[in-house]
Structure 1
């Protein structure tokens, strides 16, 4: 009787392992990466580092820093970020203007960035060469009965930052 239970348990474990593998494999994403639209993304919101270290870490995972080509992709990314408990609202992207001040390229793809949804008052090329996604900006306001309250602002988008500043980041799995 005990032998039958052990065999049943072993078969059930094998089936569940195969099911988990198949579900992860079907997404096309590896390891810690999540399927977000047509991208596989990995959120690193608990570490703040400069752009170069963030890019290097993503490459060590077989990925690059985040890029997006249109409003649909950006919306999917922002919705995904809303569903995650993030420590930050500001994330390095692969966007930069190395070599051509004010002309931006996606480091992860090598393509010139044609869709650049700038935050209010941006771009300011004199502030740096790297692009940060401000996904959930907020302003602070005082109320008579509360000290401060975060009020969402309609100013999400990209802004230019010095690459040596520290931010959280999102890695994007490189497609083969």
Structure 2
């Protein structure tokens, strides 16, 4: 009789401990060192101008790929972020290209066809190259230079520009662990 009560007590304690664990689960999204989270992805800006091929290799050494833009939400978030991290940089490499004799542009970093292409004025120019950069609309006034929104432009892959790497955020689930012996170790004040 005592053993069945003890078994039921142990089972109840285990069940309540398990419910407590589920209730305290939390998901954390973390970017690698030197990356910042923008639009659900981790971005790293490298300001030293390089060509497309060097830029692609550089991102791979950081376990990342060059920037891809899948939709307007990502595009808007990136354009909001760029003036804060590189206010005077008009151009950045993306992973967009049509290398290998293909006609359509692909996002090399994620391996899919580029459907969302927010082109700069007068773009695309087929004879300009095979790679895509984000190029700002720059206006010169009497007060100075005004840098507008960055949009896609076709560029020669051997041109030089700063670059943006992207990596997926690392997702971690945390749980508060309950010390199963804590119930038995607790002392009731006398």
Same fold (TM over 0.5): yes
Match for 1:164 among 145, 148, 158?
A: 158
Q: Following TM superposition, by how much is the alpha carbon of 1:88 offset from its aligned partner in structure 2, in angstroms?
A: 1.3
Q: Aligned-pair distance for 1:97?
A: 0.3
Aligned match of 2:53: 52
Matched, 1:105 2:99: no
Q: Secondary structure at the match of 1:81?
A: helix
Aligned-pair Cα RMSD in Å: 2.0
Counterpart of 1:40 (choices 39, 42, 59) is 42
**SS in structure 2 of the partner of residue 137 of structure 1:** strand
- Distance 1:43-1:152 versus aligned 2 partners, 3 A rule: closer
- Answer yes or no: is the 8 Å Cα contact 2:66–2:94 preserved in 1: yes
Cα distance, 1:138 vs. partner? 1.2
2:82 matched to which residue of 1? 81
Q: CA deviation at 1:86?
A: 4.4
Give, in whole Å, the separation in 2 of the partners of 1:28 and 1:54.
Answer: 24
Q: Is the 8 A contact 1:101 1:125 kept in 2?
A: no
State the partner residue of 2:10. Answer: none
Q: Which has the higher contact order (CA 8 A, sep 6+)?
A: 2
Match of 2:58, SS state, is helix
Residue 150 of structure 1, CA deviation: 1.1
**1 CA distance for matches of 2:81 and 2:146?**
20
The change in CA–CA distance for 1:160 and 1:28 in structure 2 (over 3 A counts) is same
Aligned 1:13-24 pairs, distance under 5 A: none
Q: 1:21-44: CA deviations, max 9, x gaps?
A: xxxx93321111101121000011
Deviation at residue 112 of structure 1 after TM alignment: 0.4
Number of residue pairs matched?
Answer: 144
Q: Under a length normalisation based on structure 1, what TM-score does the superposition of the two structures give? A: 0.75
Q: For residues 90-130 of structure 1, what are the alpha-carbon distances to aligned partners after superposition, in whole Å with 9 as ceiling and x for unaligned?
A: 10000000123541000001100000010011101211100
Point out where structure 2 has 5 or more consecutive residues left out of the alignment.
Answer: 1-26, 171-190
Question: Between Structure 1 and Structure 2, whose CA radius of gyration is higher?
Answer: 2
Would you say the 8 A contact 2:30–2:169 is kept in 1? no
Is 1:130 aligned with 2:131? yes
- State the alpha-carbon separation in 2 of the partners of residues 41 and 175 from structure 1: 10
Partner of residue 114, structure 1: 115
